[in-house]
Structure 1
Amino acid sequence: MNGFDPADPAATWWFTPGGGVEGAESLEEAALREVAEETGIAAVRLGPPLWRRQASFRFDGRHWEQDEWYFLGRTETLEVDTSGHTDLERRSVTGLRWWTCEELLRTRETVYPIRLAELLRTLLDEGPPLSPIPLGTERD
């Protein structure tokens, strides 16, 4: 997904779909719900958690502290539907696209998590890790 901070539209970046856990949801349930809401793709086979990252940043006038889990997900669906976006997403997301690993490795655009291209290359070459790889903390 491509977006920007409504408080600073000049700075843009790419990021993976995701969001918060609601109620008693498991991490897996939250991941599937968020993918469906943000991309319109409900037919996802969720695999194991791959990576874990903490993020600390300012966005939309607030300071955010996030504990993020990244899962392997597979789908045959390529068409996206953004009708499930929240008001904030409608104000801050400018587009969605699929990337190849090679495109991620070549891009000069900002992509979060920062090491996504090399993490994806390792995943494709070696398969999923036995346990989630800690990525540390990324601060804005």
Structure 2
Amino acid sequence: MTDLTVRRRTTARVLPVRPDGRVLLLHGWDPLKPDTTYWFTIGGGVENGETVADAACRELREEVGIELPPVELGTPLATNTIEFEYGGSRIIQAQTFYAVAVDRVDVTFANQEEIEQQTISEHGWWYGDDLEATGLAAHVTIPALLRQATDAITLRRAS
């Protein structure tokens, strides 16, 4: 067995939440493991000279076509660091999550990068409990993050 290259990255992730409490996720796979699919959060790497909030809005626009100014993100919902394999590398990823309220969304993949177009098949709206029951979350932390996002947006809408 060969040692995997380790890549460290900082990412911005966004959890769009509809009024019914479902959260928008993407369905895809590792390009080296196309038969193993999973649901994952919208987001990606923070580029040089970019704030985490700016990266979150850029990724939201690129991956699903939702336009949102950084000021509308509010404060981060959560942060964590996870480790996983992707594309033949070991990834150590520091993540910042934002929850945003959305009403009606026309999801489009038109602005995705080529690798995203090749490894993302669809989008879906999920409750954390339903996603957890499938066992198809990209990472074990995602269902709880969906529940946390839904709770945060419900509280914001109520105030």
Q: Does 1:114 align with 2:147?
A: no
- Point out where structure 1 has 5 or more consecutive residues left out of the alignment: 129-140
User: Given the alignment, which residue of 37, 45, 53 partners 1:28?
Assistant: 53
TM-score by length of 2: 0.69
Distance in structure 1 (CA, Å) of the matches to 2:43 and 2:84: 16
Distance in structure 2 (CA, Å) of the matches to 1:57 and 1:95: 22
User: Given the alignment, which residue of 36, 41, 56 partners 1:16?
Assistant: 41
CA-CA distance at 1:122 after TM superposition: 4.4
After the TM superposition, list the runs of 4 or more consecutive aligned residues in structure 1 that deviate by more than 6 angstroms.
none
In structure 1, give the amino acid aligned to 2:106: E
CA contact (8 A) 1:28 1:46 kept: yes
Distance in structure 2 (CA, Å) of the matches to 1:50 and 1:33: 18
Residue 97 of structure 1 aligns to a residue whose secondary structure is: strand
Q: Does 1:55 align with 2:85?
A: no
5 Å-filtered alignment, 1:27-106, equals: 27-43=52-68, 45-105=72-132
CA contact (8 A) 2:81 2:94 kept: yes
Residue 64 of structure 1 aligns to a residue whose secondary structure is: strand
CA contact (8 A) 1:43 1:75 kept: no
CA-CA distance at 1:101 after TM superposition: 4.1
Distance in structure 2 (CA, Å) of the matches to 1:85 and 1:52: 24
Q: Percent identity?
A: 30
- Point out where structure 2 has 5 or more consecutive residues left out of the alignment: 1-25, 154-159
CA RMSD of aligned residues (A): 2.1
Distance 1:123 1:81, change over 3 A: closer
Distance in structure 2 (CA, Å) of the matches to 1:96 and 1:6: 18
In structure 1, give the amino acid aligned to 2:82: A
TM-score by length of 1: 0.77
CA-CA distance at 1:91 after TM superposition: 1.4
CA contact (8 A) 1:46 1:74 kept: no
Residue 84 of structure 1 aligns to a residue whose secondary structure is: coil
